[in-house]
């Protein structure tokens, strides 16, 4: 379905302006403190719930904003310019929600989506495990059907909203012996904590919050299931086993648009800071912006940042048109995230010792950028996906 006209241009401007005001007033003064302490920013998460960001891509029928991917990518880029971690809270949540919205039964949509849209229930997509990352077919977590319930056993790692969240879409093996392996995989949406009392149900173990180089403040963690029982009708997305791998890879498409947009935000901020700094920092009696060596860097940074913006727009528009967009999303994800890392690195070179100091935002941008190259499918895998799809679309 084409959602590109979900809101008017005036509505989009008003929404982006309100987010800009929030970033200036509420986020900018505290981002460094939360990031350095690796502390969960509860008030900012509550703000994002109030602004509707946890329902950004959920249809208005269930209380969401029903935004297009294009508008969503603009929101993600703007927030990432200030503090990238904030975009992760609602990105993983929305990947979970869109799986229910796209593939769920009517009863599942009615049960989950209204609470997902408001952020009353917040969660994420639980795919990766200690021994399975890019190779999702290598997961070991199982779900066994017993009458009207499933019993889940296994563990998940590197899961966003695993500690502070309330629900997860969990990729499991319902037929571990199936060949090819993806035919034995299913997606179950389960509640991992009571959103009102905070009580964790029997069979769920919340593990540690993972210490990370960057992307701090957000609760990336591990979660275990041991004899956890859930209702089959509400949990098995679509009511049919064996479709989980397709749902997981489909959910990653909007995730890759999100990650690419994060790359745009980081590159924009690093470029903006570099241009401003280069005009006031002087060496040899003149601003360093007048030195050719600095101009060469800024010229390349500016061109690659703009190219990233255009690739993200292209991927978002393709997503809004519907159909398969793994090539477009892969192109945007690969180029924009590599650009983010390169531009952040060049910004540190331009800033010199000041770029290495926590008094400037460059060192945080430099630490946040590498995650984007790895998350939502490594960039090595993106290039393979791009090539395969390009060849398939251009047969000899």
Q: What CATH number is associated with residue 271?
A: 1.20.140.10
- Are 261 and 376 in a shared domain? yes
Number of domains in the chain: 3
Q: Which two tokens stand for residue 329?
A: 């999303």
- Are 255 and 389 in a shared domain? yes
Q: Is residue 224 within 8 Å of 239, Cβ to Cβ?
A: no
Q: Could you report the per-residue pLDDT of 181-235, keeping only the tens digit for each? A: 989 999 999 999 999 999 999 999 999 999 999 999 999 999 999 999 999 999 9
- Are 237 and 252 in a shared domain? no
Q: What is the CATH number of the domain that holds 102?
A: 1.10.540.10
User: Mean pLDDT across the chain, nearest whole number?
Assistant: 96
Please check the confidence at residue 6 and state whether its pLDDT lies above 70: no
- Are 81 and 195 in a shared domain? no
* Confidence band, pLDDT 50/70/90 cuts, at residue 2: very low
Q: Could you report the per-residue pLDDT of 122-145, keeping only the tens digit for each? A: 999 999 999 888 888 899 999 999
Which entry of 129, 253, 313, 376 is annotated as an active-site residue? 376
Q: Could you report the per-residue pLDDT of 33-62, keeping only the tens digit for each? A: 999 999 999 999 999 999 999 999 999 999
Please check whether residue 2 lies inside any domain of the structure: no
Residue 59 CB: number of other CB atoms within 10 A?
A: 17
Please check the confidence at residue 100 and state whether its pLDDT lies above 80: yes
Strand, helix or coil for residue 193: coil
Q: What is the CATH number of the domain that holds 195?
A: 2.40.110.10
Q: Which two tokens stand for residue 243?
A: 């479709």
Please check the confidence at residue 3 and state whether its pLDDT lies above 70: no
CA 264 – CA 112 distance, rounded (Å): 32
State the DSSP code for 39: -
- Are 107 and 160 in a shared domain? no
- Are 99 and 143 in a shared domain? no
- Are 106 and 138 in a shared domain? no
Residue 91 CB: number of other CB atoms within 10 A?
A: 27
Would residue 380 show up in a list of annotated catalytic residues for this protein? no
Work out the angle at residue 190's Cα, subtended by the Cα atoms of residues 184 and 192, and round it to the nearest 5 degrees: 130
Q: Could you report the per-residue pLDDT of 80-95, keeping only the tens digit for each? A: 999 999 999 999 999 9
Please check whether residue 158 lies inside any domain of the structure: yes
State the average pLDDT over residues 68-88: 98
Please check whether residue 1 lies inside any domain of the structure: no
Please check whether residue 4 lies inside any domain of the structure: no
pTM above 0.75, yes or no: yes
- Are 150 and 215 in a shared domain? yes
* Confidence band, pLDDT 50/70/90 cuts, at residue 117: very high
- Are 108 and 183 in a shared domain? no
pLDDT over 70 percentage in the chain: 98
Please check whether residue 19 lies inside any domain of the structure: yes
Please check the confidence at residue 388 and state whether its pLDDT lies above 60: yes
Please check whether residue 346 lies inside any domain of the structure: yes
Q: Could you report the per-residue pLDDT of 296-324, keeping only the tens digit for each? A: 999 999 999 999 999 999 999 999 999 88
Please check whether residue 378 lies inside any domain of the structure: yes
Which helix (H) or strand (E) covers residue 179, if one does?
none
Domain boundary among 180, 212, 242: 242
CA 134 – CA 219 distance, rounded (Å): 21
Domain boundary among 220, 242, 264: 242
CA 282 – CA 8 distance, rounded (Å): 46
Domain boundary among 87, 118, 149: 118
- Are 43 and 170 in a shared domain? no
- Are 284 and 376 in a shared domain? yes
Q: Could you report the per-residue pLDDT of 230-245, keeping only the tens digit for each? A: 999 999 999 999 999 9
State the average pLDDT over residues 11-18: 96
For residue 70, the enclosing domain spans 9-118
């Amino acid at each position: 379905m084409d959602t590109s006209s979900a809101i008017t241009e005036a509505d989009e401007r008003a929404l982006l302006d309100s987010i800009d005001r929030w970033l200036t007033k509420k986020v900018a003064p505290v981002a460094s403190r939360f990031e350095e302490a690796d502390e969960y920013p509860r008030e900012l998460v509550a703000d994002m719930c109030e602004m509707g960001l946890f329902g950004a891509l959920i249809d208005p029928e269930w209380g969401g904003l029903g935004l297009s991917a294009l508008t969503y990518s603009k929101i993600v880029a703007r927030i990432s310019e200030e503090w990238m971690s904030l975009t992760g809270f609602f990105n993983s949540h929305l990947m979970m929600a869109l799986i229910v919205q796209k593939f769920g039964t009517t009863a599942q949509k009615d049960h989950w989506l209204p609470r997902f849209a408001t952020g009353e229930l917040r969660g994420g997509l639980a795919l990766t495990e200690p021994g399975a990352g890019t190779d999702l077919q290598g997961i070991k977590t199982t779900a066994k059907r017993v009458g009207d319930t499933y019993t889940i056993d296994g563990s998940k790692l590197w899961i966003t909203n695993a500690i502070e969240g309330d629900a997860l879409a969990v990729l499991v093996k319902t037929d571990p012996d199936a060949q090819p392996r993806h035919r034995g995989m299913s997606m179950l949406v389960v509640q991992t904590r009571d959103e009102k009392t905070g009580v964790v149900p029997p069979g769920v173990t919340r593990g540690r919050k993972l210490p990370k180089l960057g992307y701090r403040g957000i609760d990336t963690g591990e979660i275990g299931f041991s004899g956890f029982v859930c209702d089959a009708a509400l949990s098995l997305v679509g009511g049919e086993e064996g479709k989980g791998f397709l749902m997981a890879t489909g959910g990653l498409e909007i995730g890759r648009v999100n990650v690419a947009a994060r790359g745009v935000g980081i590159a924009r901020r690093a470029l903006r800071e570099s241009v401003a700094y280069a005009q006031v920092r002087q060496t040899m009696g003149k601003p360093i912006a007048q030195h050719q060596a600095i101009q060469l860097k800024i010229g390349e940074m500016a061109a690659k940042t703009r190219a990233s913006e255009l690739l993200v727009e292209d991927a978002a528009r393709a997503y809004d048109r519907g159909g398969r967009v793994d090539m477009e999303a892969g192109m945007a994800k690969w180029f924009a995230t590599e650009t983010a890392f390169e531009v952040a690195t060049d910004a540190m070179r331009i800033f010199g010792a000041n770029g290495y100091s926590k008094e400037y935002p460059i060192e945080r941008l430099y630490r946040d950028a590498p995650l984007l190259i790895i998350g939502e499918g490594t960039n090595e895998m993106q290039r393979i996906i791009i090539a395969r799809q390009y060849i398939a679309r251009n047969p000899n």
